[in-house]
Structure 1
Amino acid sequence: MEQSALTQLKERGAPPGVPRAAPAPQARRRRHVWPRVWHFLSFGAPGVLVYVCFVLAPIGISFWYSLTNYNPFNPPISYVGFDNYVLLFQDNEFLTALKITSILTAIVVVVPNVLGLGVALLLDRPGWLYNALRSVFFTPVILSSVVVSIIWSRLLDNDGPLNAFLRVVGLDPPGWLSDPDVAIYSLASIVCWQMLGFCVVVYLAGLQGVPTELLEAAEIDGAGPVRRFRAVTWPLLAPALTINTVVLLISAFKTYDYVKVITNGGPGAGATATIAFNVLATGFDANHVGYASAMAIVMLLIVAVVTAVVLKLLQRREVDL
């Protein structure tokens, strides 16, 4: 009888004041770990392995070399600690290269962003003509930087077509690539010309993602074109601005091929020599691999810190729709 009464109480629920019997403990199901590990190894490991082999491992090897006086033609290797880094910031050649790289990066980040936004606003219209113009502006992006450098070095040559045209109209052409005060700006203009199409395409993608309802609502409220751009379009282009700025920043800071082909670091004493140019010249021409590795590590740290700060600041402006 007692057993049947307890069974009925369990089925109907115990009345208030009567404690219920504690449920029988159930054995925890063990999560099978090995299928998840195998899943990761099957899909993630190849990518991680490639990243480790071609990114992390070279960085680690370069850092080790930067702590030595490694010269492949003058063994043995000696550990020098951070002497290369101390010497680096006392080297006028490196400090000049840092200044040149900073000027080049500032120009390349600002000019294509501004011009790219203007061109994108002009091309943000339907029609075959505007589609063709988009292709024209994007064509320089797919060209090799070496090809672009050769073309522009011919155009800006002292006897090139640009100087010939300036002489015809009665102007005295400057030394685009031979004047130390002008060469860095000529070089930056070439990089801006090639990167302009990339910025145009990214801004066009952002413009086509702006909801027409917001623009129509702003127009109904009496906002003019400038006001609509400032209040609606520009805030929604923040992700496009972030992408363009970060890509231009990284690309400009590691500029090497333009300098090598067009000016070879000149004219004069390193008037256009960037940090990347000095790294390869020191490591492969002078064979001071340890010192060049220290330059590369410093450049990596500068790019990483500046990119992280810029990315953090620009992401604050992004608007979630």
Structure 2
Amino acid sequence: MLLRQRVAAPARKVRAPAWDRVAYLLSFVAPGVLVYACFVLAPILLSFGYSLTNASLFATETRFTGLDNYLRLLADPAFLTSLKVTTILTLIIVVVPNVAGVGVAVLLDRPGWLYNALRGVFFVPVVLSSVVVSVVWMAMLQDEGLLNQVLGVRVGWLSDPDLALYSIGFIISWQMLGFCSVVYLAALQGIPQSLNEAADIDGASAWTRFRKVTWPLLAPALTTNTVMLLITGFKAYDHIQVLTAGGPGVGTTATVAFNVIQVGFTANRTGESSAMAILMLVIIAVVSGVVLRVLNRREVDL
């Protein structure tokens, strides 16, 4: 007689009801979405709504004006000047910390307690308040300040209309140098040592090794730094308010972000300042998108 051995059927996996799975997912997603909607999307939509009206503290009634604020801004010499100032300042802030950050990162890419300490020293300005940094540099760059006394000259670093904007660009670049250096340093330490050793065996010079091996592998770090510096340049306000208050002269250092605050909170023209802010948001989004696309394509090609 043959004994039949029963094989136990595998237990069925009990699936949670669809609603339970949705509730489980929402419990993780909802807090982040709620915070983003309240503090990012809602202010943007509210500003866009204000930009289509004549909203003002002194307006007897708020009425819909359509695109009048935008058309007025695009024909306003003051706004176009602020756009030019913002572009120049952003170019300085993008180029200087990127170039200097690579050099500092290469110099600090060495073992030892001294280099570890120097990394911390270079990063300190990044965590300082923009107001604190501006006050310190304002004391140094005044006509009778420390820098002129050391150089033995009398240069209006902040009082000369031809120099003030470049001085502000230098100060912001100095503060952002530590951030760029840390990002590049992290990328340098991720490069396999075998690649540099192979280049040495092939007889490549230090410059050739940097140009052919190191620099191409820094492409992701370049993308990160460039986008962050672009945003920093376009939204520059604190340094300008403390150092020059938009002067010297009329609007020589007034950026778009500075004018948004002045028009909205000093002149109380809420509709116009909202239109200015929306235009700046669109410009930042377009420029950042183009830069990201170009730099990401470069990373793929490499």
Aligned pair 1:198/2:179, yes or no? yes
Cα offsets for 1:25-69 (capped at 9, x unmatched): xxxx99943233112210000000100111001000000000000
Rounded to whole Å, the distance in 2 between the matches of 1:269 and 1:320 is 46
**Which one has the largest radius of gyration?**
1
**Aligned with residue 304 of structure 1, among 262, 285, 293:** 285
Aligned pair 1:175/2:160, yes or no? no
Using the TM superposition, name which of 230-239 and 188-197 deviates more: 230-239
CA shift for structure 1 position 317: 2.2
Q: Give every structure 1 segment of 4 or more consecutive aligned residues whose post-TM-superposition deviation is greater than 3 Å.
A: 29-32
Using the TM superposition, name which of 34-43 and 195-204 deviates more: 34-43
**Aligned with residue 263 of structure 1, among 222, 244, 258:** 244
Task: Answer yes or no: is the 8 Å Cα contact 2:90–2:230 preserved in 1.
Answer: yes
CA shift for structure 1 position 306: 0.2
**Any residues of structure 2 matched to 1:132-171 within 5 Å, and which?**
132-167=117-152
Aligned AA for 1:221? D
Task: Answer yes or no: is the 8 Å Cα contact 2:144–2:154 preserved in 1.
Answer: no
Partner of residue 83, structure 2: 98
Aligned AA for 1:100? V
Cα distance change on mapping 1:273 and 1:194 into 2, 3 Å: same
- Number of positions where the alignment pairs a residue of Structure 1 with one of Structure 2: 289
Partner of residue 44, structure 1: 29
CA shift for structure 1 position 218: 2.0
CA shift for structure 1 position 72: 2.6
Percent identity reads: 64
Cα offsets for 1:142-178 (capped at 9, x unmatched): 10000000001110011111112222xxxx3321111
Aligned AA for 1:89? L
Partner of residue 120, structure 1: 105
Task: Answer yes or no: is the 8 Å Cα contact 1:112–1:199 preserved in 2.
Answer: yes
TM-score normalized by the length of structure 1: 0.87
Q: What's the secondary structure of 1:44's corresponding residue?
A: helix
Rounded to whole Å, the distance in 1 between the matches of 2:150 and 2:197 is 48
CA shift for structure 1 position 220: 1.8
Rounded to whole Å, the distance in 1 between the matches of 2:154 and 2:101 is 28
Task: Answer yes or no: is the 8 Å Cα contact 1:236–1:319 preserved in 2.
Answer: no
Rounded to whole Å, the distance in 2 between the matches of 1:310 and 1:163 is 38
CA shift for structure 1 position 224: 2.0
Aligned pair 1:109/2:94, yes or no? yes
Partner of residue 188, structure 1: 169
Rounded to whole Å, the distance in 2 between the matches of 1:138 and 1:77 is 48
**Aligned with residue 207 of structure 1, among 188, 198, 223:** 188
CA shift for structure 1 position 215: 1.4
Aligned pair 1:56/2:9, yes or no? no
Q: What's the secondary structure of 1:126's corresponding residue?
A: coil
Rounded to whole Å, the distance in 1 between the matches of 2:224 and 2:196 is 24
Partner of residue 10, structure 2: none
Rounded to whole Å, the distance in 2 between the matches of 1:35 and 1:228 is 57
Partner of residue 295, structure 1: 276
Rounded to whole Å, the distance in 1 between the matches of 2:273 and 2:36 is 23
Partner of residue 258, structure 2: 277
Cα offsets for 1:107-139 (capped at 9, x unmatched): 000000000100110110001111111111111
Aligned AA for 2:120? S
Rounded to whole Å, the distance in 1 between the matches of 2:301 and 2:163 is 43
Rounded to whole Å, the distance in 1 between the matches of 2:125 and 2:198 is 38
Rounded to whole Å, the distance in 2 between the matches of 1:81 and 1:319 is 43
RMSD of aligned Cα (Å): 1.6
Q: What's the secondary structure of 2:236's corresponding residue?
A: coil
Structure 1 runs not aligned, ≥5 long: 1-28
Q: What's the secondary structure of 2:298's corresponding residue?
A: coil
